[in-house]
Structure 1
Amino acid sequence: MKHRLLSFYLLLALFLPVATTHAEPAPPVENLSSLIENALANNPELKSSAARWQMYRSRAAQAGALEDPMLMLKIQNGIVTNPLSFTADSMTQKVIGISQQLPFAGKRKLKEEIASKEAETYRWSIEERKLELTRMVKEAYYQIYFTDKSLGILDKNIKIIDDFITLAQTKYSVGQGAQQDIYKALLERSRMLDMKITLEQQRRSLEANLNSLLNRPQSTPVGRVADFKLTPLSQTPEQLWGTAEANRPQLKALRAQIEKGRAGHELARKESYPDFNVSFEYMQRQRAMGSDGSDMYSLGVTFNLPIQKERRQAMVAESSSEITMAGEELAGVKNTITAGIADLLAQMDRRKKLVDLYSSGIIPQASESLESAVIGYRVNKVDFLTLLDNRVTLFNYEREYYDSMADYQMKLAQLEALIGKEL
């Protein structure tokens, strides 16, 4: 009965790889620059932000324009008892006039500046969104790289486990091994197949996320990511902060908001000065009642009396609060960027050291240890549990190596988004 059960497990172990590794032809290798370019060209949220910016640019052009002039046509001093007669009285006149509203000097320019600075904040929000979108594409790209490498390591280790099963079965058949060794190997193989199912699901989720960022059909296949070398980074934190101060769109947007608040403050101050309405009227008369009927004209200026102080004081307070708000937010963003640069550099340095350590020391040593354990198991100097432990150790180190590779590049993408410039 035990032999039949063992044979069943062995057949199952041989069958499962066939069922899980059957796949369609792999799509071509992905190009990161092309993916980013497509995302920036097709992402709907980015297009929406661009349309919003154009909308506010158009508002800026409206803000500085004069109001339309007013044309006036009227009959003045008409006789009620004879309303259509223009000769019954010498004061009856046919009048044509025009008037124009003129804001106090400087108000139009300030209104246009306020609208322009508001539009500028939306312009920089587009650039900020581009940075964020680029970072997200890069993160998805390198997560796919790590997932594919993990799947490759799993496939390699499943083959190693298959060799262990064969080796354990051979030793058991000649009375030199324990049946428990075979069951341990089969259990370890099943555990790895379980991990493979999880990684394949993660791969599909990452594909869906990347396709969403690129605004393309979810059925679009995503190819593998080519091997790469870590991007060296030589800038100091101070240099990176200087780059951020000159390039980060969010900082530029907040500075534009401060300038908008200052223009609003100046406009609120000018609201204490009156606006003017200039008018001209031409009055045409007929001869009547001994009058020669000479034409007449009227020229006048009217203006408001800015005596309502509460509204204007509220305008000043509003603009002052906007300046304070944007200034404090700017200081907070600067602190966030400074702390973020230091944190990301520390994490990247750690990952770089781990990559060097794994590639030059730990993984070669773990490989040699596994090879030694296999030889020792063949001659009964090492037990099967030690053999499996060496295999698991190598597996974990290989995964951590590729995890460090991918995470370094993701942290670099985050750093580029933080300072507003590709490194």
Structure 2
Amino acid sequence: MKTLTAGLIFLSLSPALPAGEVQRLNLKAYLDEVRAGNPEIAAAAALSGVYSARIKQAWLPEDPQLEFERMYADGTLGSGAAERNILIRQAFRNPYKMYLQKGAAAAENGYYSGLKEDRINRTLAEARAAFYEYALAWHHELVYSENLELSKKFSRIAETRYAVNQGSQSDAIKAQVELSKAMNMVITARQEKETAAARVNNLRGKRPDAPVAEPEPLEANAPVFEYSSLEAAVLAKNPYLAAMASRLKSAEKKLSLARAGYAPDFMLSWRRRASDDAAMNGTYDVSLGLTVPLWFAKQSAGTREARSERDMAAAEYEAAGNSVLLELKTITVKLDYYRRLTDLYGNTALPQAEVSLKASEAAYQAGKTDFLDLVDANRTLLETKREYYEYIAAYASWLGRLESLTGAEFGKNGDPL
């Protein structure tokens, strides 16, 4: 009895479950916090910014060269020069090469931009799972708290029946054991709720011990999805697939650029003279030079390298498509599984378990059944409630993964918003 008394004192000192209107943690507002404060999303956005800034760097020409010439000097350090010239040189890549370089850099930026969107979607899916895990922890505490009250009630009934010689001492002791177990369940549920709250805070970039409001209650909303329409949405909108397509496009541009290595680049020079010779003074020279791709083995090796990279990107794009469709199939199977269980438990199993407990309680009070039957009925109701809320949370979490995969948010009827 000392352990039981200590447990009751702990539960009485623990924060009471909120009642009535309270401030709740809204899923949409929480996801907005994650989008704004998650460090992994910030890192992906910064990396995307790096490659966005590289587009102009990839194709714009190098800085021009400015030279000061002192010609025919007869003194130290160029003194006494008969000509004092200014020379400007500018190297220009072949315009076709510049076009290809710009296209390759833009496609590479598209790759990292797609990875950024994929990171955002996957982090938000993880955040949805954390939110529903936290909401499930709240429901577990509510369910176990209800079970605790029922255990107290059954314990009083067993003790009363024993006091008037209508029940056995064994039933009263069993009732105390069930009451102790019920108290431990509540304590464990509160500890699990703290762990779930820490994960919620971690994903939005806050300290693990930051306060978290009570979440919105779980709702048994499980729409049915058509696989064919989902497959079309994934192939059209999945950001990871879009990223891999951009990577393939970049590899194709680089292959074209390698093939263009046989084309010459250009050098433009301009010289202005200041000369002691009146005939040469104020004159200028203009020259246009070009590179000669003489070492063909170099260009040939570069083309083979670029072709291999293109082939690798094409294979990885195909593999990404297969992987995404496999993930979609897994998600749709899980959604159908948890939807059926949610319907079964909400419409059949849970009401039957509640009726069974009421019947067992009435039969025990009337002396028509033993205490173990009452305990078994209570445990069945407890497990049914717990599993029912777990299935609701699991469906919502898998729905978040579907939204991450398709890049679309779905309403309560299953239609994209």
Query: Unaligned 5+ residue runs, structure 1?
Result: 1-8, 87-91
1:62-211 to 2 correspondence within 5 Å?
62-79=57-74, 84-85=79-80, 92-211=82-201
With over 3 angstroms needed to count, the CA separation of the structure-2 counterparts of 1:83 and 1:422, relative to structure 1, is closer
- The equivalent residue for 1:240 is 230
Counterpart CA distance in 2 for 1:98 and 1:335 is 55
With over 3 angstroms needed to count, the CA separation of the structure-2 counterparts of 1:205 and 1:318, relative to structure 1, is farther
Secondary structure of 1:271's aligned partner = helix
TM-score of the aligned structures, taking structure 1 as reference length: 0.89
Report the Cα offset of residue 24 of structure 1. Answer: 4.0
- The equivalent residue for 1:393 is 380
CA contact 1:49–1:126 (8 Å) conserved in 2: yes
TM-score of the aligned structures, taking structure 2 as reference length: 0.90
CA contact 1:337–1:419 (8 Å) conserved in 2: no
Report the Cα offset of residue 30 of structure 1. Answer: 1.1
Counterpart CA distance in 2 for 1:100 and 1:316 is 27
Letter of the structure 2 residue corresponding to residue 266 of structure 1: S
Report the Cα offset of residue 78 of structure 1. Answer: 3.4
- The equivalent residue for 1:372 is 359
Query: Unaligned 5+ residue runs, structure 2?
Result: 411-417
Counterpart CA distance in 1 for 2:222 and 2:349 is 22
1:23-42 to 2 correspondence within 5 Å?
23-24=14-15, 26=18, 28-42=23-37
Q: 1:323 aligns with which of 310, 320, 329?
A: 310
- The equivalent residue for 1:5 is none
- The equivalent residue for 2:415 is none
- The equivalent residue for 1:252 is 242
- The equivalent residue for 1:307 is 294
CA contact 2:244–2:320 (8 Å) conserved in 1: no
- The equivalent residue for 1:89 is none
Secondary structure of 1:106's aligned partner = helix
- The equivalent residue for 2:13 is 22
- Higher CA-based Rg: 1
Counterpart CA distance in 1 for 2:120 and 2:238 is 11
Report the Cα offset of residue 204 of structure 1. Answer: 0.7
Report the Cα offset of residue 81 of structure 1. Answer: 10
Letter of the structure 2 residue corresponding to residue 75 of structure 1: R
Letter of the structure 1 residue corresponding to residue 258 of structure 2: A
Q: Which moved more, 1:205-214 or 1:42-51?
A: 42-51
Counterpart CA distance in 2 for 1:21 and 1:246 is 55
CA contact 2:84–2:273 (8 Å) conserved in 1: yes
Q: How many equivalent pairs are there?
A: 405
CA contact 2:136–2:218 (8 Å) conserved in 1: no
Counterpart CA distance in 1 for 2:301 and 2:181 is 69
Letter of the structure 2 residue corresponding to residue 409 of structure 1: A
CA contact 1:53–1:122 (8 Å) conserved in 2: yes
- The equivalent residue for 2:330 is 343
- 1:253-296: CA deviations, max 9, x gaps? 11111111111111111112222212122334334xxxx64445
Report the Cα offset of residue 234 of structure 1. Answer: 4.3
Secondary structure of 2:211's aligned partner = coil
CA contact 1:241–1:337 (8 Å) conserved in 2: no
Letter of the structure 2 residue corresponding to residue 238 of structure 1: S
Secondary structure of 1:176's aligned partner = coil
Counterpart CA distance in 2 for 1:235 and 1:179 is 56
CA contact 1:29–1:224 (8 Å) conserved in 2: yes
- The equivalent residue for 1:332 is 319
Report the Cα offset of residue 184 of structure 1. Answer: 1.4
CA contact 1:230–1:409 (8 Å) conserved in 2: no
Report the Cα offset of residue 323 of structure 1. Answer: 2.0
- The equivalent residue for 2:48 is 53
Q: 1:44 aligns with which of 35, 39, 47?
A: 39
Counterpart CA distance in 1 for 2:83 and 2:347 is 103
With over 3 angstroms needed to count, the CA separation of the structure-2 counterparts of 1:136 and 1:82, relative to structure 1, is closer
Report the Cα offset of residue 310 of structure 1. Answer: 3.8
RMSD of the alignment, in Å? 2.3
Letter of the structure 1 residue corresponding to residue 36 of structure 2: A
With over 3 angstroms needed to count, the CA separation of the structure-2 counterparts of 1:227 and 1:293, relative to structure 1, is closer
- Identity level (%): 26
- 1:336-369: CA deviations, max 9, x gaps? 2222222222222222222222222222222222
1:214-233 to 2 correspondence within 5 Å?
214-233=204-223
- 1:396-420: CA deviations, max 9, x gaps? 1111111111111111111111222
Counterpart CA distance in 2 for 1:161 and 1:65 is 77
Counterpart CA distance in 2 for 1:394 and 1:219 is 33
Report the Cα offset of residue 17 of structure 1. Answer: 2.9
Q: Which moved more, 1:219-228 or 1:36-45?
A: 219-228
Letter of the structure 1 residue corresponding to residue 296 of structure 2: K
1:275 and 2:268 matched: no
Letter of the structure 2 residue corresponding to residue 341 of structure 1: L
Secondary structure of 2:25's aligned partner = coil
- The equivalent residue for 1:3 is none
Letter of the structure 1 residue corresponding to residue 313 of structure 2: A
Counterpart CA distance in 1 for 2:76 and 2:126 is 82
Counterpart CA distance in 2 for 1:328 and 1:219 is 46
1:262 and 2:252 matched: yes
Q: Which moved more, 1:260-269 or 1:66-75?
A: 66-75
